[in-house]
Structure 1
Amino acid sequence: MRWADRHAHRRTDRVRLTGRQWLGLVVFAAVAVVVAFGVGPVREPHPVPAAQVDAARRAFDGLRVIGARPPHDSGYQREAFGSAWTDDTQAAGAGNGCDTRNDILARDVRVSGLTSASTCPRAVAAGVLTSPYTGRPVVFERGRGSSAIQIDHIVPLSYAWDMGASRWDADRRATFANDPSNLVAVDGASNQTKSDAEPARWMPTLRSFHCQYAVQFVTVLARYGLPVDAPSKTALGRALESC
């Protein structure tokens, strides 16, 4: 076969897409980027009610302060706070037949679809979250897209453990781990970046959310009688001043 004939033969094997097919590919790629990275316009959070800010400032003044976070206990295990997202605790909203993760998704995500799951008969199947840590939208789809949205403990469990929760009984730790006031749905990347860091080492990327973050962090510490490390108290104080 001559070169020209082989070249012509290869060209006829190429798949030609219609304009509609190209448009579908572009839309699919854009959605994939949003799911993976939370790309989109930044949405600013709603102002924190003045009464909540005032209460947090009073609680802040009453927190017990220690010089630094103690060295982390290498023996710490997540299981010390009970089964992940169990519905069987004394936390607000518990005992409603749905696991805590689905309760928080239903609260924070703009839900567009529901399904039945083994841990919740009305589990969130699809929706969009504006991550409070970035202000950007994240698409949620149960299955492959589930990890795009994760549930963060504002006061990390291992931080609570280091600051005194290691001495609590099992029921109190399980309630703490499933308390809605200490939980927020966020983009997966932010949750992984934060890990178990305290405010002195990590604050949300979206600076306008620092007020809300500090209000919730301080409120949870005060509710459970946990102290704060001195560097984090400084960081939280600055955030409360921004309210």
Structure 2
Amino acid sequence: MRLSTVLALWLVCVSVWADEPVKLSESGLCHQPGSRFYSRTLHFSAFATLEACLANGGRLPESASQAATPPSADNYDRNDWPHWIDSDGDCQNTRAEVLIAQSRLQVSFDDGETCRVLQGTWLDPFSGQILSSASELDVDHIVPLKWASAHGGGAWHRERKREFANDMDNLLVVSNSLNRAKGAEGPDQWLPPNQAYQCEYIRRFDEMVQKYLLVYQSGEQAFIQAQLASCARNTSARAVAP
């Protein structure tokens, strides 16, 4: 079979099975969704992409072609991740709904249709400050879209990217200056300056990574595990303190 034909078939399969993980079997084989032994593989480690499975020591079955290895997920285009959508048609997009949900007091709007939030009372966990003007705020993706793309999400189909980009568990009202300082960095490169929130931030970041089967690089995973262990020890120490 020609290389171009194999790759075309792989792309079709990705669009159909993108929500299913790649299975790394106990024998070290990477089984893609729809492959011959996929459904028979019951004991496995899950990865978001074949590339990630191979990078973690897996190998392709002899019957599989290396031409089926997916392209790099690093080619990020923000337009491929539809965000700030109005899924229920009430004129409030995801940003507005997050501002409303996370305001400590009732918000006010700048129009008669309650579409765009103008004022409220928000605690910015990145700084620890109270802010009242929506223009001072961004809605942060705790796991940035670009980071997710480079860690397995780039191979998702558009609907999965849309789901991730609008997942309320991944959204946080913060000051726009700190959100822009963070950029697309993970916790090993950037943490909120408010130290009291750092453990919670790392925990929420890791929960989203696990929820969407994203894949840490080895150094990133070591950092997350060390920080979570340190946070757990500190919590235990405070609990037993007189």
Deviation of 1:114 (Å): 2.1
Deviation of 1:228 (Å): 1.2
SS of the residue corresponding to residue 114 of structure 2 reads strand
| Aligned CA distance change for structure 1 residues 229 and 216 (closer, same or farther; 3 Å) | same
Deviation of 1:212 (Å): 1.2
| Residues 86 and 100 in structure 1, CA contact (< 8 A), matched pair in contact too | yes
Q: Distance in 2 between matches of 1:110 and 1:234?
A: 36
Match of 1:107 in 2: 101
The within-5 A match list for 1:1-243 is 73=74, 75-82=75-82, 84-88=83-87, 95=88, 97=90, 98-115=92-109, 121=114, 123-141=116-134, 146=135, 148-240=136-228, 241-243=230-232
Aligned residues: 165
| Residues 124 and 131 in structure 2, CA contact (< 8 A), matched pair in contact too | yes
Deviation of 1:121 (Å): 3.1
Q: Distance in 2 between matches of 1:224 and 1:189?
A: 28
| Residues 73 and 154 in structure 2, CA contact (< 8 A), matched pair in contact too | no
Q: Distance in 1 between matches of 2:167 and 2:203?
A: 15
Question: 1:186 is aligned with what amino acid?
Answer: V
SS of the residue corresponding to residue 209 of structure 2 reads helix
| Aligned CA distance change for structure 1 residues 162 and 105 (closer, same or farther; 3 Å) | same
SS of the residue corresponding to residue 242 of structure 1 reads helix
Deviation of 1:198 (Å): 1.1
Report Cα offsets for 1:42-101 as digits up to 9, x if no partner.
xxxxxxxxxxxxxxxxxxxx887978xxx983x42111102x30123xxxxxx2622100
| Aligned CA distance change for structure 1 residues 227 and 63 (closer, same or farther; 3 Å) | farther
Greater displacement, 213-222 / 171-180: 213-222
Q: Distance in 1 between matches of 2:182 and 2:100?
A: 23
Question: 1:85 is aligned with what amino acid?
Answer: W
| Aligned CA distance change for structure 1 residues 168 and 134 (closer, same or farther; 3 Å) | same
| Residues 63 and 227 in structure 1, CA contact (< 8 A), matched pair in contact too | no
Which structure has more relative contact order (CA 8 Å, sep 6+)? It is 1
| Residues 128 and 138 in structure 1, CA contact (< 8 A), matched pair in contact too | yes
Deviation of 1:115 (Å): 2.2
| Residues 107 and 121 in structure 2, CA contact (< 8 A), matched pair in contact too | no
Deviation of 1:109 (Å): 2.0
Give the TM-score normalised by the residue count of structure 2.
0.61
Q: Distance in 1 between matches of 2:122 and 2:106?
A: 11
SS of the residue corresponding to residue 221 of structure 2 reads helix
Question: 2:78 is aligned with what amino acid?
Answer: R
Contiguous gaps of at least 5 residues in structure 1: 1-61, 89-94
Contiguous gaps of at least 5 residues in structure 2: 1-44, 57-71, 233-242
Q: Distance in 2 between matches of 1:63 and 1:133?
A: 32
Identity of aligned residues (%): 25
